[in-house]
Structure 1
Amino acid sequence: MTVIAVCALTAYVAQRAVAVFNDGVRPFLLDFVRGRSTRGAVATVSFGLSAGFVFGLGAPLALATGVLNPWLLFLPTDVLGLLSPKRWLAALSGAAWGAVVVFGLAGANRLAHKLPVDFVTAMQQMATPILYLFTLFPVLAVTRQFGRLSGAVCGVIELALVVTALKLWPKAFPGSVAMAAGVLLLTGLAVHRDLVQRRRADRGRAATKQEPRADRNSDAAPMTGLFRAGATRLRAHLALFMLLGAGMCLLASTHVYAGGEAGAFLIADGRYGAAAQVDFYRALGFIPLIATTALASGAYGVAGFTLVHPVGYLLPGPWPAAAAGAATLAAEVTALSWAGRALGGLPSVRDSSEHLRCAIAQTLDLALLFGSLTAANAMAGGLGILLAGGLYLSNEAMGRPVARMAAAPAAVISAGVVLNVLSWLHLFTPAPR
């Protein structure tokens, strides 16, 4: 019932162009709100940007972990909400999708386990590559922004922390401490660079006795006005965002839902504290993108800065989770204008978040590919690798009709279907379970 209610709510807010999950759709909502674009056109854009992730990432990840995720739940509710001409129809269609996911996933799991080739169990092999390679994203971000030496230092620190954690706390996820150290190092380097550059600029102005020109920020005035209008529109829907935050945090507290790829495997394993850490660090990479697109378009993310996910994992019951989620999204919406100004004054910190986001995508691309090939090997050895790897390479050769991050998990499921057909035709004998 929680899933159905939250899906209904997310479709409702999408219909009103107040919030969507897909960051790529949000910039198009400004033209729709101003009447320069039609509902059907925006829904078409949303479907085009979302379909590959729903069936290539959201569904395989849910099957592999038994834990729901936002790609499976909220990318479709974006499309359904934007397509619906009436608010009640949007809520009803969102609720229907939530019911399809809840009952359909359970049925799909039962069916998959009865097949000759159980590709769902094989896909659990994806967990280790995703969890451990995801640990390295701060190293990649530091290297991209501050060079090889800083990246090497960050890598050595993370490796030492992982080895230490494996030795001293074998039951805990060793990547949590390493990721924390890497993100702190990246943030510290970015703040230090901004402070040094600010001091140099102040000394330069003092040396030349330069006065600030009155028209120095004249070029930024239109963008400032746009941001102000976006912040005003979002604050006008504060009560709706508080309800949305309560629902998202409540859903996360049930531990049947996770906000990220690595977090889903940790939630499935019962490591809620580690999942909260991983998703918190993941959220840091998307805060600048969400903040700027929200201020520019007047539409927020259905999970805000996604901080409601780690908060929800850690809370013991529904009422604390609902209250904390409402407070979290209310604080985010209220502070959006300040966040926009702060990011404008800290260019290196803003850039570090962009590097974090790119590093997360890069590590997950490799982790999902490696994990998918491992799952294919568990299904059928070399034949499984041939099928899954061949489908992935075909997608690359055809110009990636399916996004790279979603292509590998989709290839595993497709390979599993082919292997079951071959088994029924007595052309392939699965390994005994």
Structure 2
Amino acid sequence: MLEVILMMCIGALAAVMANMGIAVFNDGLRPIVPKNLEGRMSRRELGVTAFAMSFGLVIGFGIPISIAGSIILIHSILLGTDIIGLIFKRGKFTTPIAGILGALYGAGIYYGLKAVVDAFKLLPLNFVDGFNKVGEPVVVSFMVFPAIAIVLQFGMKKGIIAFLVAALSRQIIVFMNTEKIIKIGGSPITLSPEGIALIVGMIFLLVYAMREKSTEKNLSTLATLFTDRVTRIKKHAWVLMISGGLIAAATNLLLIAGDPISLNLLSDGKISEGGIASLAKAFGFVPLIASTAIATGVYGPVGFTFVFAAGIFSPNPVVAAILGAIIILAEIFLLTKLAAVLDRFPGIRASGENIRTAMTRVLEVALLVGGANAANTIVPGFGFFAIVGFYLLNEVAGRPIVRMAVGPIGAIAVGIIGNLFALLGLYTPPTQ
């Protein structure tokens, strides 16, 4: 019951914040919301835009990844509450309605995920175990994204250097873990090879980005132009603190995860590795989230996403909630200083969009490979055929389904088709 209440509170609060223009989860929506707040876009247009930008990601990305890992990917909830909150006009009666629907949506995601997984287990061909392979390549592949971001921003040569050093760092850690070289008090310590490689790549990206400094004498772009919008975010700090606390507590209970990488690590019981991956992702997204928040006056319900790491590393939900609230408060009151840093180092500011693009490309490939492996485990031979065909048909058709969703959705489709084959006597499932 505590878990359901927590999910309902997250859904309700996120929907209300979206409705009031305080915070939205979709980075693409954040620059659009002020247009409505300032009367330059109707609420109907905003609602339609929110639906168009978020619905496909909920159905095609958030929910399939959640099913694969048996932990709810935060996109499944907060992209949905963005739609709910932005469809309704702000008002004395409509805002509470948005909150109620958000709460029901949160409960629906919680019970719906359990119901789907339980239903899959009752089928003649239980493909849940096979479907779990969707996330396997994600963890290993994720360490590549800093090198990709470097290539996008600073060129191929620097990206290859970062990639090779990160790859070597990973292999050194594998060797050290195997030989039990690192010990504390006589007990061997195991480090995450992927986590270390990711940190090394991020260091390279940060160093390259900080080499680009502004040549202007008067730095006033973000720091002074958007003072009123930063003040607006600070005015709603208490609401955002509650959101951060709820998210951190839910993460601590392993109800939700902030990204596919940490989700898959957490579902495998690799808590510390999941925390490291979550931290790395949060640092990478600071430039993007900070710049959009400062320029629009609209924050995100999870802030810079450090609240997920706080939830993972906290000993219990209460401590997680307190830390989550404090982290959000600190982020908000550091926005002005961050604006000055982003103005001083334009390379860091520009890296935000490149990091997002790099992460997207890595996830597209990793989830496609994972989906193919899962599908082929469910129905050997036919699985590879189906995923390759599904991917190419989607490309030829103009990509009606986002690339990240092709692998997971295809694996689910193969599982359903495999069950039809089994019922028709065309396929004999292996002994389970």
TM-score (norm: length of structure 2): 0.90
Query: What do the CA deviations read for 1:38-87 (whole angstroms, capped 9, x no partner)?
Result: 22221211111112211111111111111111111111111111223422
d(CA) in 2 for partners of 1:352, 1:331 = 22
1:14 aligned to 2:18?
yes
* Number of the residue aligned with 1:188: 207
d(CA) in 2 for partners of 1:236, 1:378 = 52
d(CA) in 1 for partners of 2:347, 2:296 = 24
1:140 aligned to 2:148?
yes
d(CA) in 1 for partners of 2:352, 2:14 = 26
Query: What do the CA deviations read for 1:392-429 (whole angstroms, capped 9, x no partner)?
Result: 22111111111111222112212222222232233333
* Number of the residue aligned with 2:183: none
* Number of the residue aligned with 1:290: 289
Please say if residues 244 and 302 of structure 1, whose CA atoms lie closer than 8 Å, have aligned partners that are also in contact.
yes
Deviation at 1:224, TM superposition (A): 6.6
Please say if residues 47 and 88 of structure 2, whose CA atoms lie closer than 8 Å, have aligned partners that are also in contact.
no
- Give the partner amino acid of 2:33: L
* Number of the residue aligned with 1:76: 80
Deviation at 1:226, TM superposition (A): 5.4
Query: What do the CA deviations read for 1:7-37 (whole angstroms, capped 9, x no partner)?
Result: 1111111111111111111111111111222
Deviation at 1:172, TM superposition (A): 4.5
* Number of the residue aligned with 2:185: none
* Number of the residue aligned with 1:40: 44
* Number of the residue aligned with 2:382: 383
* Number of the residue aligned with 2:261: 262
Deviation at 1:314, TM superposition (A): 0.2
Deviation at 1:300, TM superposition (A): 0.7
- Give the partner amino acid of 1:45: T
Please say if residues 389 and 411 of structure 1, whose CA atoms lie closer than 8 Å, have aligned partners that are also in contact.
no
Among 99, 102, 105, the residue aligned to 2:113 = 105
1:247 aligned to 2:246?
yes
d(CA) in 2 for partners of 1:419, 1:341 = 56
- Give the partner amino acid of 2:227: R
1:153-192 alignment, distance < 5 Å? 153-169=161-177, 172-191=191-210
1:123 aligned to 2:127?
no
Deviation at 1:377, TM superposition (A): 0.7
Query: Secondary structure, in 3 states, of the residue corresponding to 2:256?
Result: coil
- Give the partner amino acid of 2:301: V
- Give the partner amino acid of 1:232: T
Relative to structure 1, the CA distance from residue 226 to residue 406 in structure 2 (aligned partners, 3 Å threshold; closer, same or farther) is farther
* Number of the residue aligned with 1:65: 69
d(CA) in 1 for partners of 2:294, 2:241 = 18
Query: Secondary structure, in 3 states, of the residue corresponding to 1:23?
Result: coil
- Give the partner amino acid of 2:365: L
Query: What do the CA deviations read for 1:231-284 (whole angstroms, capped 9, x no partner)?
Result: 121111111111111111111111221101110011112222111111111122
Deviation at 1:90, TM superposition (A): 1.4
Please say if residues 282 and 360 of structure 1, whose CA atoms lie closer than 8 Å, have aligned partners that are also in contact.
no
Deviation at 1:225, TM superposition (A): 6.4
Query: Secondary structure, in 3 states, of the residue corresponding to 1:410?
Result: helix
Query: Secondary structure, in 3 states, of the residue corresponding to 2:72?
Result: coil
d(CA) in 2 for partners of 1:37, 1:189 = 39
* Number of the residue aligned with 1:328: 327
Please say if residues 245 and 308 of structure 1, whose CA atoms lie closer than 8 Å, have aligned partners that are also in contact.
yes
Relative to structure 1, the CA distance from residue 307 to residue 178 in structure 2 (aligned partners, 3 Å threshold; closer, same or farther) is same
d(CA) in 1 for partners of 2:417, 2:20 = 42
* Number of the residue aligned with 2:181: none
1:365 aligned to 2:372?
no
* Number of the residue aligned with 1:152: 160
Query: Secondary structure, in 3 states, of the residue corresponding to 2:53?
Result: helix
* Number of the residue aligned with 1:205: none
Query: Secondary structure, in 3 states, of the residue corresponding to 2:363?
Result: helix
d(CA) in 2 for partners of 1:84, 1:353 = 31
Relative to structure 1, the CA distance from residue 224 to residue 317 in structure 2 (aligned partners, 3 Å threshold; closer, same or farther) is closer
d(CA) in 2 for partners of 1:160, 1:286 = 25
Any gaps of 5 or more consecutive residues in structure 2? 179-189
Please say if residues 227 and 337 of structure 1, whose CA atoms lie closer than 8 Å, have aligned partners that are also in contact.
no
d(CA) in 2 for partners of 1:119, 1:129 = 18
Query: What do the CA deviations read for 1:279-311 (whole angstroms, capped 9, x no partner)?
Result: 111122322221222222221111011111111
d(CA) in 2 for partners of 1:104, 1:172 = 36
- Give the partner amino acid of 2:49: V
State the identity as a percent: 31
d(CA) in 1 for partners of 2:78, 2:398 = 26
Query: What do the CA deviations read for 1:302-353 (whole angstroms, capped 9, x no partner)?
Result: 1011111111110011221111111111111112122122111101222333
d(CA) in 1 for partners of 2:153, 2:292 = 23
- Give the partner amino acid of 2:285: F
* Number of the residue aligned with 1:355: 354
d(CA) in 2 for partners of 1:89, 1:119 = 38
Query: Secondary structure, in 3 states, of the residue corresponding to 1:20?
Result: coil
TM-score (norm: length of structure 1): 0.90
- Give the partner amino acid of 1:302: P
d(CA) in 2 for partners of 1:186, 1:293 = 21
- Give the partner amino acid of 1:49: M
Please say if residues 134 and 407 of structure 2, whose CA atoms lie closer than 8 Å, have aligned partners that are also in contact.
no
- Give the partner amino acid of 2:87: L
Any gaps of 5 or more consecutive residues in structure 1? 203-211
* Number of the residue aligned with 1:338: 337
Deviation at 1:143, TM superposition (A): 3.0
- For structure 1, which segment, 308-317 or 416-425, has the greater mean C-alpha deviation from structure 2 after superposition? 416-425
- For structure 1, which segment, 363-372 or 27-36, has the greater mean C-alpha deviation from structure 2 after superposition? 27-36
d(CA) in 1 for partners of 2:226, 2:381 = 54
d(CA) in 1 for partners of 2:157, 2:31 = 37
- Give the partner amino acid of 1:31: K
Please say if residues 15 and 85 of structure 2, whose CA atoms lie closer than 8 Å, have aligned partners that are also in contact.
yes
1:229 aligned to 2:248?
no
Query: Secondary structure, in 3 states, of the residue corresponding to 1:136?
Result: helix
d(CA) in 2 for partners of 1:147, 1:12 = 43
